[in-house]
Amino acid sequence: MLKPGNKIPDFETFDQKGRKFKTEDYKGKYLVIYFYPKDMTSGCTKEAIEFSRYLSRLEDIGVEVFGISTDSTRSHMRFAEKYNIKVRLLSDEGGEISKKFGVLKEGGKTAMRVTFFVGPDGKILHVWDKVRPVGHAEEVYKKVREILKGK
């Protein structure tokens, strides 16, 4: 698994609206990238809803938020519509992105629940690897604010 100080890998994929995502388009920005196992499951739904609630607060302090799972773009679209998810959900069908981050579960079908806070230089500033879905978005928000105050 990638650790603080590691640079995130470059990747391209699509979000729930079919829009292309490329890491190179986000160089110079702070990012929260959270990996989760599966759309429409209880814990993942709670986590996505909470990140949606915190999205504007994170954006107000200059941080963009992305959720990634091995589900398809179409699955992400249905998930976002059903639960009014505002976060961009990135598809990792095949698990290649999860594998690059070191968060692909054994068996290779789903990602572990891990969150990365990435600096403008593409280096990881903080990792949450023991994530409990409820309360996680608030925990991330507080830690990100603390890190940014020190910069």
| 104-121 burial code (b ≥16 CB/10 A, e <16) | beeeeebbbbbbbbbbee
Say which of 8, 44, 58, 104 is annotated catalytic.
Answer: 44
Q: Would you call 91 a catalytic residue per the annotation?
A: no
- Tokens linked to 16: 């729930």
For 53: left if phi > 0, alpha if psi spans -120 to 50, otherwise beta; the answer is alpha
Question: How far is it, in rounded angstroms, from Cα 74 to Cα 72?
Answer: 5
Q: Are 45 and 51 in contact (CB under 8 A)?
A: no
Residue 138 CB burial class (10 angstroms; 0-12, 13-18, ≥19): middle
Alpha-carbon distance of 126 to 132, in angstroms, equals 16
**139 in Cβ contact with 128 (< 8 Å):** yes
Catalytic residues: 44
